[in-house]
Structure 1
Amino acid sequence: MDEYFERRKRMVERLKDELKISEKVAKAMLEVPRHLFVPPHMRREAYNDYPLPIGYGQTISAPHMVAIMCDLLDLKEGERVLEVGTGSGYHAAVVSRIVGEEGLVVTVERIPELAETAKKIYESLCYDNIKVVVGDGSVGYEELAPYDKIYVTASAPKIPVKLLAQLKNGGRMVIPVGDFVQHLYVVDKDEYGRVKKRSWGAVRFVPLIGEEGFED
């Protein structure tokens, strides 16, 4: 049991106590070494519950937000999931542990350097069910659509039409929407393709840049 495992264990216990996160999310977050996904000089802060800068104007989300989004998605083993905004790579790593080896996480990142760093970490951890794509995540990744679940780690001006089109009937999307005032939305598509959305609450994310996002 190294120092980082003990810190990670305490982080997960806090999230279980304070947020009542599900056992499957808690188990995944206990497994994933978050300290490997932050800059080396910040590793001692990796298990504190706040965002950290990762360069290029981006951040790694606070652990509580990763946990909340994973639980809102209601992830299941074997699902195909699209992540928009790889960032540090941590969030997709947690999702990959929940969907398991029969599942797949496709994560799209517009900044090549971040995508390459995340890919190397996944390879070192043998997380083989994650596919990293460099591109405009606001339009999704049609090659492997449709997806059971989609989540976005940056705030969009509105719910992107192209992402909705890549969501399966019966699927769910979790996405922050807004500029100065942002809300996290849970978007469900029923078996007939009808869409319903509800707001979980106020949040703060970096802006989604791209064709269906904000201008760079």
Structure 2
Amino acid sequence: MAWRSQSDSNEGLIQQLKENGIIKNEMVANAMKMTDRKLYCRVAYPYVDRPHSIGFSATISAPHMHAFALENLFDFIKPGCRILDVGSGSGFLTACFSRLIDAKSVNSNEKSLVIGIEHHPKLVEFSIGNLNSDDIKFIEEGKIKIIQGDGRLGCKEFAPYDCIHVGAAAADIPSELLNQLKPNGRLLCPVGLAGETQQMEQYDKTASGEIMKKTLMSVVYVPLTDLNE
């Protein structure tokens, strides 16, 4: 996917993504409008539809890929859900997940949780700082937790998850992530070797635990690694 959207404001960027047909769901658009990209992307021109480096061999994905993930997982984001964001990086998409849950939970008291996992302690620190700059309630009220670890192993402590998003490419789909996916849940992950074209794959787990795989499109992501790689 390649798009030519840019603006001098976050709202303008999201509006262009809507006009280009990338964002179709108004709740997704609102979540992305409320999550100002400049707080998560410390570059001169944050409102351009392209990925940017955030250090430590990690990137913040292009806005159209964030929109794609939110739209793809939309039906699995609901009151009381648990979401795992593997390779959460800057924390941008993690914040959008939390805001979508809030938008869907207006008449619900169910407690939801979004877990972001990153392999490098500096990225954990970076994303927590970004989230606090955006809305101190994310962390203070326990809506979001950012942890350090090998994303390929997921986070058993808070499993199972209604949906799992992986923001870096795995050479093969990590079996532990599939194990931590709740029945009737969905996992979205780019799969393929580093430096090559990869495939965005969707894994749906049926009520009986069967895994249904669907290849969605070709992508290029940085590799999913641990601290020693």
Q: CA deviation at 1:76?
A: 2.6
Tell me whether 1:110 sits opposite 2:119 in the alignment: yes
Q: Which runs of 4+ in 1 moved over 6 A?
A: none
Structure 1 stretch 149-158 or stretch 101-110: which is displaced more?
A: 101-110
Matched position secondary structure for 1:54:
strand
Residue 153 of structure 2 aligns with which residue? 139
User: Aligned AA for 2:56?
Assistant: Y
User: Aligned AA for 1:81?
Assistant: I
Residue 49 of structure 1 aligns with which residue? 49
Query: 8 Å contact 2:115–2:147 — kept in the other structure?
Result: yes
Residue 25 of structure 2 aligns with which residue? 22
Query: 8 Å contact 2:23–2:71 — kept in the other structure?
Result: no
Task: Name the CA distance, whole Å, in 1 between partners of 2:182 and 2:39.
Answer: 33
Q: CA deviation at 1:158?
A: 1.2
Matched position secondary structure for 1:87:
coil
Residue 184 of structure 1 aligns with which residue? 200
Q: CA deviation at 1:6?
A: 6.4
Query: 8 Å contact 2:8–2:47 — kept in the other structure?
Result: no
Gaps of 5+ in 1: none
Task: Name the CA distance, whole Å, in 2 between partners of 1:186 and 1:84.
Answer: 15
Residue 165 of structure 1 aligns with which residue? 179
User: Aligned AA for 1:63?
Assistant: P
Q: CA deviation at 1:94?
A: 1.1
Residue 220 of structure 2 aligns with which residue? 204
Identical amino acids, percent of aligned pairs? 38
Matched position secondary structure for 2:96:
helix
Structure 1 stretch 144-153 or stretch 119-128: which is displaced more?
A: 119-128
TM-score of the aligned structures, taking structure 1 as reference length: 0.90
Structure 1 stretch 122-131 or stretch 23-32: which is displaced more?
A: 122-131
Query: 8 Å contact 1:77–1:98 — kept in the other structure?
Result: no
**Aligned to 2:96, which of 94, 97, 112?**
94
CA-based RMSD:
1.8
